Chain A
Amino acid sequence: MGMKILVLMKQVANKDAILRINKDSTWIEEADLSFEVSESDGYALEEALRIKEKVGGEVVVVSMGPARAKSVIKDALARGADRAIHVLGDNVVHLSPFAAASVLADAIREESADLVMTGLQSDDYGYAQTGVILAELMGLPHATIVIEVDASGEQLRVKRELESGWYQWYTMPKPALLTIQSGISQIRYATLKGIMAAKKKEIKEVTPSAEIVSKPSHQRIEKIYLPQKSKQTQFLGGGDAKKGAVELAEKLRNEARVI
């Protein structure tokens, strides 16, 4: 039998990168920036590979982005994905969640996957809704913030994280779409053998429909900026961490009076 699993993975700015805002204050300066896969998408891939190891089938990685997104695709292939679809476009990362989901639906519909998986939200725009909208557009049932998947039966059984330490199991028919929470399992490293094997794997490039991409969005970013501070922080040590620590102990004792 086996399952065909599609994993949607987005390339985002490296988590530790110092972000600079562009001249128009609409996005960050991307020159000299390093990129990586959005954290929860990495966990979605890991979970997909584990399901495939249990029930057999195929894992197809799908990434939407400019040419640089190839590095995310190659890494996923090296970890064990079987083939890839690259939805290629220079500005597709800036699509609204609805437009992004529309483009992705076009790109993957004819794959007729048993399961579509992605991270619960991206580490850049953080919309946290592209997956759910995609499920709606494809007519699939979905579950979000999933932390355990049992794909062994006729139906899927998934454990969802609720707030404040609560959980809930849901059962649903396949095909379905799941958004995966970070930490669902330990992510494997790519092996040298995997990296070599990845070179022979297929990467299909598709171009998003101009009609969807050029449609006016219902939400537009006017500007981005550094957050306004809600508190006036006293910075201590002036760049000298040890000196800062000495000053801090004194402040905690005499000013904040918490020790």
Chain B
Amino acid sequence: MSILVFIEHKSGTLNKTSLEAIAAAQKLAADFGQQVSAVVLGSSSLAQEIAAYDLEKVISAESDQLADYTPDAYAAGLEQVVRNANPQFVIMSHTYLARDFAPKVAARFGKGLIGDCIRMSVDGGKATFTRRIFLGKLDADVVSEGEPPTFVTFQSGSFRGDQAVKGSGAAVEAMQVEVGEVRMKPEAPFQEAKQAVDLSKADIIVAVGRGIKSKDNLALAEKLAEALGGDLAASRPICDAEWLPIDRQIGSSGQTVAPKLYVAIGISGAIQHLVGMKNSQTIVAINKDPEAPIFDIADYGIVGDLFEAVPVLTEEIKKLKG
């Protein structure tokens, strides 16, 4: 048995989270005494590039219909590679693309994915995968049962891409795959009107979440941001409610930031938000719920009413800077 790792790309450009998937697969392979093969769908040039990693081989699945991503074509391609390679594990990054087609592949093997994992451990020949449930409030240890293959996806940041081990040049094996009918017709991907605000360069960010309760209360956070000389940002629900424009949104569907100081006000810390800010240097969280996941990554925390804490914090900062 072996381990198969899925490599994602956009028009031949590697999605860097796939290096994290390689690192995860290599770790699992070391624990099980197995080897890792990689699969690239529809880009032979990327298959060559990936061959630089310490892999048994790189399978380059080829078909004219794999030029553009569609769930039908990708599911057909990956299914054939998996049936042919017969791996014990199929490892992927939990990207939007994987979410879109990987469950379809797993379903053809009569199962789902062990999806969005953040850790794994191997003990006595048994792998345990940890995933977050209840929007990050709890962790669940999950084991795979039944026949292989086991499909596992890892959340971005669970492994480090720079720890994917390079090798002496893996063999690239071309494989023609039959795709059949593709029912979805994609148009070209695009970005909405240029983002007006680039928060990725901000030194200080004050971000608000659901706990702020109303649009009028945003003024509290604005005053704090002003006192700190920082920018105002928000979690998704605030932008969904149109209290702040979408270019202020931090998280997987918004901007990824790593400022010197990140102040999270009334943000519980759903995974989708955390991935966008967890690399901030100093993280402050103010939240009434002591179990809020944001406290898992916070350096400083205040458990309590933000409407009491924020005005005092603003005044204190003005005094210190004054």
A: residues with CB less than 8 A from B are 13, 15-16, 18-19, 21, 28, 96-98, 101, 123-130, 132-133, 135-137, 141-145, 160-173, 181-183, 216-231, 233-237, 239-242, 244-246, 248-253, 256, 258-259
Contact = CB atoms under 8 A, between A and B. Distances in A.
Interface residues of B, number: 97
Contacts of B305: 241
B303 interface: yes
A6 B156 CA distance: 33
B136 to A, nearest CB: 7
Nearest to A18: B291
Interface string B161-196: 000000000000000000000011111111110010
Given A234-B299, A235-B303, A246-B312, A220 B145 contact: yes
Given A128-B116, A129-B112, A165 B192 contact: yes
B185 A253 contact: no
B141 A227 contact: no
Task: Please list the 9 inter-chain residue pairs (A to B) with the smallest Cβ-Cβ separation, ordered nearest first.
Answer: A241-B304, A183-B240, A249-B316, A129-B103, A97-B112, A244-B302, A245-B312, A141-B183, A132-B103
Given A97-B112, A227-B139, 9 more contacts: A18-B291, A98-B110, A183-B237, A218-B146, A218-B150, A220-B143, A244-B302, A258-B260, A259-B261
Contacts of B308: 241-242, 245
A16 B289 contact: yes
Given A223-B140, A227-B139, A98 B111 contact: yes
B137 A19 contact: yes
B138 interface: yes
Interface centre among B99, B184, B204, B303 (most CB of A within 10 A): B184
A222 B142 contact: yes
Contacts of A173: 183
A231 B103 contact: no
B295 interface: yes
A136 B104 contact: yes
A84 to B, nearest CB: 26
B189 A167 contact: yes
B72 A141 contact: yes
A195 B200 CA distance: 46
B131 to A, nearest CB: 8
B107 interface: yes
A170 B185 contact: yes
Interface string B282-307: 11111001010101111111111110
B236 interface: yes
A233 B261 CA distance: 15
B170 to A, nearest CB: 28
Interface in B30-78: 70-72, 75
Contact of B107 (A133, A220, A251): A133
9 contacts: A127-B113, A141-B184, A143-B71, A144-B99, A162-B97, A219-B145, A241-B312, A252-B284, A258-B261
B321 interface: yes
Interface of B: 70-72, 75, 95-97, 99-104, 106-108, 110-116, 128, 131-146, 150, 183-192, 195, 204, 228, 236-237, 239-240, 252-256, 260-261, 268, 281-286, 289, 291, 293, 295-306, 308-310, 312-313, 316-317, 319-321
A239 B304 contact: yes
Contact of B103 (A133, A163, A250): A133
A242 B145 CA distance: 51
Contacts of A172: 183-185
A245 B320 CA distance: 13
A169 B99 contact: no
A170 B317 contact: no
Contact of B304 (A163, A226, A244): A244
Nearest to A96: B112
A166 B191 contact: yes
A36 to B, nearest CB: 13
Contacts of A96: 111-112
Contacts of B141: 221-225
Contacts of A168: 186-190
Contacts of A18: 289, 291
B239 A245 contact: no
Contact of B313 (A222, A228, A245): A245
Contacts of B139: 224-228
A220 B128 CA distance: 10
A244 to B, nearest CB: 4
Contacts of A220: 142-143, 145
B184 to A, nearest CB: 4
Contacts of A130: 112
Contacts of A251: 300
A237 B133 contact: no
Contact of A233 (B113, B131, B301, B309): B301
Given A242-B308, A245-B316, A231 B297 contact: yes
Nearest to A124: B134
Contacts of B134: 13, 19, 28, 123-124, 126
